[in-house]
Chains A and B, each alone.
Chain A
Amino acid sequence: MASGNIERRTILKAAGASAAALGLAATTGCGGDSGTSADGTVTIRYSWWGAEERQKRISQSIRLFEKKFPKIKVKTDFQDYVAFWEKFQTQAAGGNPPDVFQNAVGFLRKYDKRGILLDLKSQIDAGNLSTRNFREGVLSVGQVDGKQLGVPVGSNTMALVIDKKIFRKAGVTPAPGWTWDDYFKALKTIHDRTKVPGDTGYFSIMYLYDLYLRQNGKAFFTKDGLGFDKADLTEWWQDGYNRVKAGIITDPKTVAQDRPKSSVTAKHGASEFTWDNFTVRYTAEGDSEYGLAPIPTTDGKNTGQYLASLMLSASARTKHPKEVAQFIDFMVHDPEVGKIMGYDRGILATTDQYAAFKPSDPVAREIAKYEEDTAKAGVLGTITPHPSGADTVEAAFLRIAGDMSLGKYKVADAVKQFFDESEAAFQA
């Protein structure tokens, strides 16, 4: 240092630099940029889970919304299902959840208990969000203890997605009312004739086991716990394990490798139990022809199915409840949005959109017909409650069943582990 004057400049520069660095840190703080700008334009954050295909449809819908409501800007982000809920949980815990977000029935009680969800009743009463024209029974999926915590955008139901080409080759035709015996015989026929395992692991899917239990007068969940006992699950998983060993179900090692793709679209399995609207995804992912088949039954009639739904929920902490309500209203009622979204998130929830969308591609038509047929067959029951922690239980069910089927755990140990983890999840 040459002169005494430099120090002051040094100090000032240092001060300036650190102030700048801190300022930078402050402005890059994650996420929460919703707010009101000087000209009165309100920005709301909308998060959802899904893939590329859904992203295209949603941004197109948002462009329409912003045209109609020029004072509201919508900022979006999306992840896949698992990543979405991890991020959401962290944001919500930090007091910074998105203003509006995609939701499902398994999460309603959990986040209601934690005070994250806005009861949309007030906005409905204020006239910002209309509950008219919802298809029968759909709106109630978003209700918990008299509160409207979510507004359904589409309804879906568990179904059996099949690779039609393989089923045809094996000469197997699923028929309404077929029994589990018929179904497992079909899997064997498929494997014998085409060398492809018939199913990719039915025993690890919580929502399917729910249907099986419902067929037998029980359900997966009660209001605050599990609706079945260890003996029930031991039988379900032991049978599953035996069928994996018999080769009629995809080797779980292969299933693990195929992820995040489905083993059906990877041509390692002929069918899979999942939500009916997933046919859209499978068609985009694989190059065979995919369709829907009825759920096997215990008594030759009752499938245990019910209508579930994806919905939009709002944060209890949003600074713009009115704008959020207007946005939800637009997304569920606007006919143009219905045309854009199609059956990507299930059969459109309101008659406004349902009537506007005329499915032209065979996949959408098949989904519509499936839900129509299911409704006509009179097998749709009412949805049973999903207690807080249902999401963690679902993930544990999938993981532990997979581990069990790899032969790494005895069935009895797997069942015990599942009951232990469920207990912890309900209490969390």
Chain B
Amino acid sequence: MGTTVTLVKESPLPTRKARSAAPAAGKRRGRRENLAGYLFMSPWIAGFLLLTAGPMVASLYFAFTDYNLFNSPKWIGFDNFTKMFDDPRWQKSVEVTAKYVVIGTPLKLLLALGVALLLAQSRRGQAFYRAAFYAPSLIGASVSIAFVWRSIFSDDAVVDRTMALFGVHSGGWVGDPDWILYCLVALAVWQFGAPMVIFLAGLKQVPKELYEAAAMDGAGPFRRFWSITLPMISPVLFFNVLLETIHSFQIFGSAYVVSNASCGPADATLVYTCYLYQQGFKNAQMGFASAMAWMLLLAVALVTAVLFWSQKKWVHYEEDAR
């Protein structure tokens, strides 16, 4: 994920002088440049049309059909959608995903903000710490890390033994339907580096004089955080909440690997996309799976809309102050 974005404003070409000298040639050149531009974009456009837009349209159609990959799709209207609500496993997958999003996202953001606050102060070795805390974000999504996770949370492995020192013997989280989801939450929280970097950038933007003035007026550190830092970084916080929430809804890889491709035990890690995958690619219920995908899109859109609506209440943009 890119963390710094540089926008360069280019001066419009060709210049007015050139245009007045040879208007026809300029127009032609402009068209040519456009053509060159589209040609440069064409691999992306082709990819977008063939690999993204096309399949999306197809899946919208399949969502309203009975389609097992081999037959020709049979139109069944909204049956797939109504079937969903009667399906106990679908309900379970919604429950698991909601739990994961609601527990995991705030924890991750809290940790990211906490560490960002610590790292915002200048000290020796700052660059090293930042890199070290960011590193898990780079490797965390990989399959091999999920494998490592599976083994450190197993019976009698590192986590189990460490907890046993404190008198808690869990017998391993990976095989226990009541615990395994927290293993996934821990994996997500551990990758707090990306939102942390964004928080850090936000913290750097807060004007120093605000803190100085507040300190002069006798505001303690907590008061300064609550009344200055939080409002000043609220746009960044909003951005992080939005991004991480959407991201959490899409969890698949870690659930799939940590549960050894079963999304179990007892469907404890049956996250939404995992059930979608099982229906589509194991049970060949591609119509149902497509309907599920569009349902997820609707849900994420709804949550996003609510977040955008809520920002009026708590996000503070500097323009408002003027």
A89 to B46, CA, bound (A): 27
Which B125-179 residues have C-beta < 8 A from chain A? Answer: 154-155, 171-172, 174-177
Binds B, one of A35-43, A99-107, A252-260: A252-260
A351 to B232, CA, bound (A): 82
Of the candidates A8, A93, A403, A417, the one whose C-beta lies within 8 Å of that of B264 is A403
User: Is B281 a contact of A256 with CB atoms below 8 Å?
Assistant: no
Q: What is the minimal beta-carbon distance from B82 to any residue of chain A, in angstroms? A: 15
A403 to B175, CA, bound (A): 11
User: Is A11 a contact of B32 with CB atoms below 8 Å?
Assistant: yes
Smallest CB-CB separation from A115: which chain B residue?
B70
A253 to B266, CA, bound (A): 10
A10 to B38, CA, bound (A): 12
Chain A interface, DSSP helix/strand/loop, else mixed: helix
User: Is A18 a contact of B42 with CB atoms below 8 Å?
Assistant: yes
User: Is A7 a contact of B69 with CB atoms below 8 Å?
Assistant: no
Q: What is the minimal beta-carbon distance from B196 to any residue of chain A, in angstroms? A: 32
User: Is A82 a contact of B155 with CB atoms below 8 Å?
Assistant: no
Q: Does B202 contact A (CB under 8 A)?
A: no
Of the candidates B43, B262, B267, B284, the one whose C-beta lies within 8 Å of that of A89 is B284
A89 to B68, CA, bound (A): 10
Interface size on B, residues (CB 8 A): 38
- B residues in contact with A92, CB < 8 Å: 70
Q: Does B247 contact A (CB under 8 A)?
A: no
Chain B interface, DSSP helix/strand/loop, else mixed: loop
Of the candidates A10, A257, A417, the one whose C-beta lies within 8 Å of that of B172 is A257
Q: Does B265 contact A (CB under 8 A)?
A: yes
Q: Does B283 contact A (CB under 8 A)?
A: yes
- A residues in contact with B43, CB < 8 Å: 17-18, 21-22
A1 to B267, CA, bound (A): 60
Interface 1/0s, chain A 224-260, versus B by CB < 8 A?
0000000000000000000000000000111111011
User: Is A18 a contact of B39 with CB atoms below 8 Å?
Assistant: yes
Q: Does B29 contact A (CB under 8 A)?
A: yes
Of the candidates A11, A255, A417, the one whose C-beta lies within 8 Å of that of B175 is A255
Which A406-423 residues have C-beta < 8 A from chain B? Answer: 406, 408-409, 417
- A residues in contact with B29, CB < 8 Å: 4, 7
A25 to B267, CA, bound (A): 38
Q: Does B226 contact A (CB under 8 A)?
A: no
User: Is A86 a contact of B281 with CB atoms below 8 Å?
Assistant: yes
Q: Does B215 contact A (CB under 8 A)?
A: no
- B residues in contact with A424, CB < 8 Å: 283, 285
User: Is A402 a contact of B283 with CB atoms below 8 Å?
Assistant: no
Smallest CB-CB separation from A93: which chain B residue?
B69
Interface size on A, residues (CB 8 A): 42
A424 to B282, CA, bound (A): 13
Q: Does B40 contact A (CB under 8 A)?
A: yes
A100 to B89, CA, bound (A): 36
Known: A260-B260, A392-B283. A428 touches B266 (CB 8 A): no
User: Is A428 a contact of B171 with CB atoms below 8 Å?
Assistant: no
Q: Does B12 contact A (CB under 8 A)?
A: no
- A residues in contact with B285, CB < 8 Å: 424, 428
User: Is B262 a contact of A18 with CB atoms below 8 Å?
Assistant: no
User: Is A395 a contact of B282 with CB atoms below 8 Å?
Assistant: yes
User: Is A253 a contact of B262 with CB atoms below 8 Å?
Assistant: no
User: Is B284 a contact of A11 with CB atoms below 8 Å?
Assistant: no
Smallest CB-CB separation from B150: which chain A residue?
A257
A284 to B214, CA, bound (A): 70
- A residues in contact with B42, CB < 8 Å: 14, 18
User: Is A17 a contact of B266 with CB atoms below 8 Å?
Assistant: no
User: Is A253 a contact of B172 with CB atoms below 8 Å?
Assistant: yes
Interface 1/0s, chain A 1-24, versus B by CB < 8 A?
100100110110011011001100
Q: What is the minimal beta-carbon distance from A405 to any residue of chain B, in angstroms? A: 9
Q: What is the minimal beta-carbon distance from B168 to any residue of chain A, in angstroms? A: 16
User: Is A89 a contact of B39 with CB atoms below 8 Å?
Assistant: no
User: Is B40 a contact of A17 with CB atoms below 8 Å?
Assistant: yes
User: Is B260 a contact of A259 with CB atoms below 8 Å?
Assistant: yes
User: Is B264 a contact of A399 with CB atoms below 8 Å?
Assistant: yes
A86 to B261, CA, bound (A): 12
User: Is A253 a contact of B176 with CB atoms below 8 Å?
Assistant: yes
User: Is B32 a contact of A7 with CB atoms below 8 Å?
Assistant: yes
- A residues in contact with B299, CB < 8 Å: none
A-B contact pairs, 7 of them (CB 8 A): A11-B32, A17-B40, A92-B70, A93-B284, A253-B171, A399-B262, A424-B283
Sorted nearest first, the 4 A-B pairs with minimum C-beta distance are A93-B69, A253-B175, A14-B39, A257-B175
Using a CB–CB cutoff of 8 Å, the interface residues on chain A facing chain B are 1, 4, 7-8, 10-11, 14-15, 17-18, 21-22, 25, 82-83, 86, 89-90, 92-93, 114-115, 252-257, 259-260, 392, 395, 399, 402-403, 406, 408-409, 417, 424-425, 428
